[in-house]
């Protein structure tokens, strides 16, 4: 199985704070990989580095074997590497369908420069994906009126609209009603299995990540602490100590 993302000895600091220090890990194509760690361990910084939201200080980041650490966010997105955020980035005053359509014009590679001439196809795809995430009946509602969990589902659908090869999800279940979590997990698995999207997921809910991912990395104090199958990680004493030490 190919390594679709390779992080090689990456470091990133902000002023005197070392957010990531000499991190090396790889994400295999076609699977769901988890990233865990206590608050402040550097998980979101690593995601931001991978998608080009800030320059790294040292190291290399490869996507499908190509060095991307010097590329801009938009250039990386057009390669098929996208992310979602802890706090959703949707257009609150637009309805769900409009959010889906504008996400293509801003970031998409699926429809590219032919956006304006393929309006019907784009609308069909938007409604198909809104149905996939369970928002079809709400497709014409103003997105700011949706619950926070529904807004996260909308952002997930917006990312899928752009036909990503890899999608980085930053705490997808945070703030979501527990009754919606199982449905979200099912949709993440289906996106991976049916659409072929490789997922790299930051998640604090251990039950979720251990049931979702087939490989898990753990960060602590900006360093890579452990990596392996979920059964191995949840019994790793270093991981247990890192979480106990965070409380």
Q: What is the pLDDT of residues 183-213, one digit of tens each?
A: 889 999 999 999 999 999 999 888 899 999 9
pLDDT for residue 113: 46
pLDDT at residue 247, as a whole number: 44
Q: Which of 141, 163, 185 is the last residue of a domain?
A: 163
Q: Quote the domain boundaries for residue 145.
A: 90-163
150-166 pLDDT per residue, tens: 998 999 999 999 999 99
Tokens of 142: 């103003």
Higher pLDDT, 139 or 112: 139
Residue range 3-15: mean pLDDT, rounded: 97
pLDDT in tens, 20-30: 999 999 999 99
- Same domain? 94 vs 116: yes
Radius of gyration (C-alpha) of the chain in whole angstroms: 18
| Residue 183 and residue 215 in one domain | yes
> How many secondary structure helices (H) and strands (E) does the chain include?
9, 10
Cα torsion 217, 218, 223, 226: sign: negative
Same domain, yes or no, for 72 and 49? yes
Query: Largest Cα–Cα distance in the chain?
Result: 57
Note the pLDDT tens digit of each residue in 77-124: 999 999 988 778 899 999 999 999 998 865 545 444 444 546 788 999
174 and 243 fall within a common domain: yes
Average pLDDT for the chain: 91
Q: Which of 163, 186, 211 corresponds to the end of one domain?
A: 163
Residue range 48-66: average pLDDT?
97
pLDDT at position 105, please? 60
Same domain, 101 and 1: no
- Whether the CB-CB separation of 96 and 103 falls below 8 Å is answered with no
| DSSP secondary structure code for residue 162 in this structure | T
From residue 225, give the alpha-carbon distance in Å to each of 61, 71, 86, 94, 216. Answer: 19, 28, 23, 42, 11
The model's pTM is 0.92
Helix, strand or coil for residue 198?
A: strand
Asked if the structure places residue 27 within a domain, the reply is: yes
pLDDT at 182 (0 to 100):
87
Task: State the CATH number of the domain containing residue 16.
Answer: 3.40.50.300
Q: What is the pLDDT averaged over residues 66-82?
A: 94
Residues 116 and 3 reside in one and the same domain: no
């Amino acid at each position: 199985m190919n390594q679709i993302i390779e992080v090689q000895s990456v470091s990133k600091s902000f002023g005197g704070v070392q957010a990531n220090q000499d991190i090396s890990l790889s994400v295999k194509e076609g699977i769901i990989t988890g990233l865990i760690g206590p608050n402040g361990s550097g998980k979101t910084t690593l995601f931001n580095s991978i998608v080009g939201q800030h320059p790294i200080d040292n190291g290399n980041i490869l996507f499908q074997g190509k060095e991307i650490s010097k590329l801009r966010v938009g250039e990386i997105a057009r390669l098929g590497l996208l992310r979602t955020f802890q706090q959703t980035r949707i257009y609150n005053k637009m309805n769900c369908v409009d959010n889906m359509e504008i996400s293509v014009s801003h970031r998409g590679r699926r429809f590219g420069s032919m956006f304006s001439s393929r309006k019907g196809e784009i609308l069909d795809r938007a409604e198909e994906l809104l149905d996939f995430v369970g928002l079809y009946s709400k497709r014409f509602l103003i997105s700011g009126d949706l619950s926070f969990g529904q807004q996260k589902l909308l952002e997930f659908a917006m990312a899928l609209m752009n036909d990503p090869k890899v999608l980085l999800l930053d705490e997808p279940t945070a703030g979501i009603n527990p009754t919606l979590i199982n449905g979200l997990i099912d949709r993440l698995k289906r996106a991976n299995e049916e659409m072929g999207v490789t997922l790299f997921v930051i998640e604090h809910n251990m039950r979720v990540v251990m049931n979702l991912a087939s490989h898990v990395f753990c960060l602590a104090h900006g360093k890579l602490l452990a990596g392996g199958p979920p059964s191995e990680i949840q019994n790793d004493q270093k991981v247990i100590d890192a979480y106990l030490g965070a409380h």
